[in-house]
Structure 1
Amino acid sequence: MLRGAFRIVRRFGTWPISAYLLILALATSIPITACAAFLAYHFVAESSQYRKVEYEDRLRLMRNATELRVANIIEDLQVLALSPSLADGRFTEFRDHAIDAVKLIGGVAIALYEPNGQQLVNTRLDLGTPLPKRVAFDAERRAIETGRPQVSGLQKAVVDGQPIVTIAVPVRIAGQIRYALNVGLSPRYLSTLLDDYVTAGLVGSIIDQQGLLLARRPLLDGDELIGQPTIPAVRSHLGAASAWWIKAVSRSGIATYTSLLRSDQSGWTVNLAVPRDAIDGPLHRTVEWIVALTLFTFALGMALARLLAHRFLAEFSDLERYVSGLQAGVAPPRVGRISEVNRMKKVLYRVGGELASALRQQRDLLDEINHRVKNTLGTVQSIARLSRASAGDIDQYVVAFEGRILALSEAYNLLTENNWVGADVRAIVDRTLAPYAGPDRLTVSGPGLLLPPKLTLALSAAIQELSTNAAKYGAFSTPSGKLDIAWTGDESDVVRLVWIETEGPLVRKPTRRGFGTKMIMAMFGSEAGWSVDLDFDPRGLRCTMQFRVGDEERNEVRLTG
């Protein structure tokens, strides 16, 4: 491909740099796009399908567990219906058997009904208590009429009106259906059926034939949702044998995919809702693969770019030789194969006569650089001398000297970023304190003030020394310590900066002045109208510096001592 591109270039003459870059972009972006698209599709499709199958199986297990529990209860009731005491009309004795059975099942109560709805036995009522006649007992009536077990929807208990569902079986005596025997189950009982299948992040529910919630996990506001209609997205599919991956929004506002299965045994619908992010989330996992692929293709692109770079190298090497010979005077430039390079050669040829003036500007620039280098070397010399005087041994001296040189370098970086016009007080404070404290321990306030270069260096050095002292002995030496820095400025260009440390260790006034104290006193106590006050308050060091922002020459600060 590359050789073909070069043959096209040789055939049609010079091309712009953009044409070469386009070839490089095509050579790298096409494989990146193709590979990324393939991997994204593959991993998303595979992961999403796996999760869907997993949740579908979970829903089936929920439905099967519900049906198995109902089947077990029906068997228990059918065994109880065969009790001899019931056939002989010994209802008091039968009541004792029913009490044991309801405890075994875990239901609310077991009741025995005549076909007209009159209760003959109710395990929740004491012996001798008049038993009520029930008007609404559809499940029990159907059990008597059909001779088959029946499961009700949500209804209210006759005794206390609490929400329950009932499971009823017919009672045959001498081959004839005489009664209906039922057990009442509370919604909380049904909710326990969901505990093993509805894990964190999922929503599971059991819904009766009328679309009312019988059980839900997790519960919201206790049991208040029991008896409430299910959400519209689910209600619209009630009666269907199954419905899969319906887009819905849960009661807590989470976008979900919800699926449901209907139980032919009970008529109930079992529902399981999964956050859409759990299904669509596999896309996120492909990001790592795409990043790795991007890195690989980037390396491939670099290799291809190197091949193309040989063409650029030849042209720019020729340009370099031409520029190097301009001062001595050269012949008109030779035309190459890159049009932009050819234009640069022509421009340089025309302006060759102006190089002499440009060399004078370079001399002026070198003079300015020499001046700043001398000042910097003088500052470094003073730092070295003062650090030696305050250091206890050579290791302490090296650490202190290195830290101060790095602080001076950071101040120079700040000035360089601002083209040596100066630096704002906040930028100086933020840049210097960044290694020592975050916003949770540091309070900075003050107006925007631009300091000239020399004053920038001085303030940076002072704050660096105060920060180092705070890290060793002051507020930054403990996790609870805090620092407040504030400054003000007035119309007379006087700046007042206050450094206050709090919640640190107990402060004691030093017995001798170290490097930091000497340096700060030397810088801010040597000019008229400038002052510095160090208050070794036991609650925390307080330092107040006052200086004037005026003429650059007046603000030249030197380290002495």
Structure 2
Amino acid sequence: MRGLGSRRRGWFRRSLLTWPVSAYLLLLAITTAVPVTACAAFLAYHFVAESSQLTKAEYEDRLRLMRNAADLRIANIIDDLQVLALSPSLAQGRFAEFREHAVQAVKLIGGVAIVLYAPDGQQIANTRLELDAPLPKRTEFDVERRAIETGRPQVSGLQRAVVDGQPIVTIAVPVRIGGEIRYALNIGLSTRYLSSMMDEYVSAGMVGSIIDANGLLLARRPLLDGDDLVGQPTIPAVMAQLGKPSAWWIEAVSRTGVPTYTSLLRSNQSSWSINLAVPRDVIDGPLHRTVEWIVALTAFTLVLGLALARLISRRFLAEFSDLERYVAGLRSGAAEPKLGAISEVNRMKKVLYHVGSELAGALKQQKALLDEINHRVKNTLGTVQSIARLSRASSSDLNEYAAAFEGRLLALSQAYNLLTENNWVGVSLESIVRQTLAPYAGPERLDIDGPDLLLPPKVTLAISAALQELSTNAAKYGAFSVPSGKLQISWTVDETGLVRLSWTERDGPLVHKPTRRGFGTKMITGMFAGETGWSVNLDFNPGGLRCVMQFWSRDQVDGDLPLMEAS
């Protein structure tokens, strides 16, 4: 019976890590506090981050509104100048009359002066000078010249007024008479006028500025040292972004040393850049402070939880120590226990007290039981020794030996389990059959028939071992190796107690007689040859293995398993 009963299984060794009660309580405190704190931290951070995003969006909208307001103000001034350029008095050369109209317009707009220029830069009318005062010729004439040459309105960068040298910007429009551009009409705007355009949009703590194409400050809010910064270059972080349509969230440092996020938009009506800066703390501060609070809250929660866990663990350890002392004292007699503050420990003490009282009257029974256990252990060790010897003889390598040895030990263990469940009185033959075959086939593939029969311990162990070997062989080579295979097992017993058990496989693969005797064959034949009246017949029928075993239903001798006699 080739390889009968060989099974391979892995061996696993696990180390057991033991912790004191205090460690479990500390772990409980940590696992309780961390999820709650993490959830609260996530919600707090989420809400603060969302608030920060809203602040950013509000800041961006504020900058766009400031840029749009500047563009709209310039567009309105251009419209007013273009209307003034259509004055009939100007077309007819009545410059004194035109000057009066310009005086009213400059007051309405709020500029410094309105000046009419000839193409060579000569002033023809100037609302800041008296009517009969001599009019100068302008040398810096680029804006007005571009207006005349292109026929489109132009906006300058920072300039100095011709009359008094104050810093201004100018807006110039061409003047057409009879379809021909004859003059350039401009208005000068003071830097304070530009600053006033930002008042509505630059809140406390922010810094707003208007910068010309050369990077010079045209206006700033809030003011530093009056107007001293007008005409000064903007800070380097902003200077690097000039000329771009937009630049957002640039890290910079203000002139007062405050870290800021600065952004700028280029004006659509001019070459100016509108800049707005906000302290970084306004954007990042709430997030940073929230993180700090989260860290502090987490630390406080953990420390509090650990402190409480330590306090409670001391109470537990004190009670367990008292329980340990009580258990140790049971050796000298079961004394009335002293109850403590933990109800579960008190219950254990009471149970131990009652058990100890009962055990005090059962020392002789324990000795008898130990003697019986010693006897059975010796028999079991002899059985294991024989299984090891026979498995070694039938195995070709170490792995096959280990698998076969483990499988046979498990079969022996199952038999011991059945006996233990029945207090070693005996086990029914049907229970042995069904438990042995359960791992190999379902009830639909089994035909089991026989009278109710109780086998004694030694016979139980022998028959369990034999059935295990037959089942293993059927799973590897016989009826259990294919889905269609079936097994019929039946037994009878006569009036003398002799049992005849028949094992018949069918609908399995074709059976060939083995060329050598494996462990199963040696074990079964040796076991049944070692007892008077026992016999076994193995028939390797091509249609299915048939095994007929005959044995007594009671112990005939007081010794080890019959298989131990086989070598």
**Does the CA contact (< 8 Å) of 1:43 and 1:282 recur in 2?**
no
| 1:488-535 Cα distance to aligned partner (Å, 9 max, x none) | xxxxxxxxxxxxxxxxxxxxxxxxxxxxxxxxxxxxxxxxxxxxxxxx
Shift of 1:295: 7.8
Would the alpha carbon gap of residues 16 and 81 (structure 1) be closer, same or farther in structure 2, given more than 3 Å must change? same
Q: Distance in 1 between matches of 2:136 and 2:278?
A: 44
Structure 2 residue matching 1:240: 3-state secondary structure: coil
Structure 2 residue matching 1:194: 3-state secondary structure: coil
Shift of 1:137: 1.5
**RCO comparison, higher one (Cα < 8 Å, 6+):** 2
Shift of 1:47: 1.7
Q: 2:200 is aligned with what amino acid?
A: D
| 1:259-298 Cα distance to aligned partner (Å, 9 max, x none) | 0000121111000000000001222257667777888888
**Does the CA contact (< 8 Å) of 2:77 and 2:109 recur in 1?**
yes
Shift of 1:299: 8.5
Which of residues 80, 83, 103 is equivalent to 1:79? 83
1:17-28 correspondence to structure 2 within 5 Å: 19-20=23-24, 22-28=26-32
Structure 2 residue matching 1:72: 3-state secondary structure: helix
Shift of 1:24: 3.4
Shift of 1:70: 0.5
Q: Distance in 1 between matches of 2:18 and 2:67?
A: 75
**Structure 1 stretch displaced more, 37-46 or 153-162:** 37-46
Consecutive unaligned residues in structure 2, runs of 5 or more: 1-14, 330-334, 336-567
| 1:200 correspondence with 2:204 | yes
| 1:12-38 Cα distance to aligned partner (Å, 9 max, x none) | 586456633552353235315532552
Would the alpha carbon gap of residues 251 and 235 (structure 1) be closer, same or farther in structure 2, given more than 3 Å must change? same
Q: Which residue of 2 is the match for residue 141 of structure 1?
A: 145
| 1:116 correspondence with 2:123 | no
Q: Which residue of 2 is the match for residue 229 of structure 1?
A: 233
Would the alpha carbon gap of residues 321 and 239 (structure 1) be closer, same or farther in structure 2, given more than 3 Å must change? same
Q: Which residue of 2 is the match for residue 245 of structure 1?
A: 249
Q: Which residue of 2 is the match for residue 257 of structure 1?
A: 261
Query: What RMSD, in angstroms, separates the aligned Cα atoms of the two structures?
Result: 3.3
Would the alpha carbon gap of residues 14 and 77 (structure 1) be closer, same or farther in structure 2, given more than 3 Å must change? closer
| 1:43 correspondence with 2:47 | yes
Q: 1:256 is aligned with what amino acid?
A: T
Q: Distance in 2 between matches of 1:71 and 1:238?
A: 22
Which of residues 61, 64, 84 is equivalent to 2:65? 61
**Does the CA contact (< 8 Å) of 2:251 and 2:260 recur in 1?**
yes
Q: Distance in 2 between matches of 1:32 and 1:294?
A: 13
Structure 1 residue matching 2:51: 3-state secondary structure: helix
Q: Which residue of 1 is the match for residue 274 of structure 2?
A: 270
Q: Distance in 1 between matches of 2:311 and 2:20?
A: 18
How many residue pairs get aligned? The number is 316
Shift of 1:160: 1.2
User: How much identity, in percent, do the aligned residues show?
Assistant: 68
Q: Distance in 2 between matches of 1:51 and 1:115?
A: 50
**Does the CA contact (< 8 Å) of 2:265 and 2:275 recur in 1?**
yes
1:473-488 correspondence to structure 2 within 5 Å: none
**Does the CA contact (< 8 Å) of 1:249 and 1:255 recur in 2?**
yes
Would the alpha carbon gap of residues 156 and 13 (structure 1) be closer, same or farther in structure 2, given more than 3 Å must change? closer
Q: TM-score normalized by structure 1?
A: 0.52
Structure 1 residue matching 2:218: 3-state secondary structure: strand
Shift of 1:315: 1.6
Q: Which residue of 2 is the match for residue 212 of structure 1?
A: 216
Q: Distance in 1 between matches of 2:205 and 2:322?
A: 64
| 1:314 correspondence with 2:322 | no
Q: Distance in 2 between matches of 1:130 and 1:321?
A: 121
Which of residues 90, 97, 100 is equivalent to 2:101? 97
Q: Which residue of 2 is the match for residue 176 of structure 1?
A: 180
Q: Distance in 2 between matches of 1:146 and 1:30?
A: 71
Shift of 1:76: 0.7
**Does the CA contact (< 8 Å) of 1:43 and 1:286 recur in 2?**
no
**Does the CA contact (< 8 Å) of 1:24 and 1:305 recur in 2?**
no
Structure 1 residue matching 2:197: 3-state secondary structure: helix
Shift of 1:314: 2.6
| 1:405-441 Cα distance to aligned partner (Å, 9 max, x none) | xxxxxxxxxxxxxxxxxxxxxxxxxxxxxxxxxxxxx
Consecutive unaligned residues in structure 1, runs of 5 or more: 1-10, 326-330, 332-561
**Does the CA contact (< 8 Å) of 1:24 and 1:301 recur in 2?**
no
1:356-505 correspondence to structure 2 within 5 Å: none
**Does the CA contact (< 8 Å) of 2:252 and 2:262 recur in 1?**
yes
Structure 2 residue matching 1:196: 3-state secondary structure: coil
Q: 2:317 is aligned with what amino acid?
A: F
Q: 1:75 is aligned with what amino acid?
A: D
Structure 1 residue matching 2:317: 3-state secondary structure: helix
Structure 2 residue matching 1:281: 3-state secondary structure: helix
Q: 2:211 is aligned with what amino acid?
A: I
Would the alpha carbon gap of residues 43 and 313 (structure 1) be closer, same or farther in structure 2, given more than 3 Å must change? farther
Structure 2 residue matching 1:181: 3-state secondary structure: strand
| 1:297-342 Cα distance to aligned partner (Å, 9 max, x none) | 88988998898677435325448989xx9xxxxx9xxxxxxxxxxx
Q: 2:226 is aligned with what amino acid?
A: G
**Does the CA contact (< 8 Å) of 2:248 and 2:263 recur in 1?**
yes
Q: Which residue of 1 is the match for residue 474 of structure 2?
A: none
